[in-house]
Amino acid sequence: MTAKVLVGKLFECGYRFSLCGDNIVPKYTGRGDPESDKILPLVSELKQHEQFNQVENRINKYWDEGNFENFQKELANWKSIYTDLLKLFSEAEKHN
């Protein structure tokens, strides 16, 4: 799922979002307690998207700087996050 879709689903579940510096902060404003079995996978996937984008930005920065040692490290990190995202997507597909 895209980050936009994830935020929309969390919004439907009673969450609202605000900015705190560079961070997006979710806050539950719905009635009763949030349904953690629905919310936790969405929040986890949204965090993965954020981490993925940050790593991609660092990869591009290190490439542009010619810092190939850090580029290789971030590339390995990117691969790990990408693999985790693929697992999340396949799990989500099973439940749809």
Decide if 43 contacts 25 (C-beta within 8 A): no
Distance from C-alpha of 46 to C-alpha of 85, rounded to nearest angstrom:
10
Compute CA distances 2 → 18, 62, 75, 86, whole Å. 19, 26, 21, 12
Nearest CA-CA partner of 78 in 55, 60, 61: 55
Predicted confidence (pLDDT) per residue in 8-59, tens digit: 888 888 888 887 776 667 788 988 888 888 888 888 887 777 777 888 889 9
What total number of domains does the chain contain? 1
Predicted confidence (pLDDT) per residue in 2-15, tens digit: 777 888 888 888 88
Distance from C-alpha of 70 to C-alpha of 76, rounded to nearest angstrom:
10
**Range(s) of the domain holding residue 29:** 3-95
Q: What's the confidence (pLDDT) of residue 61? A: 93
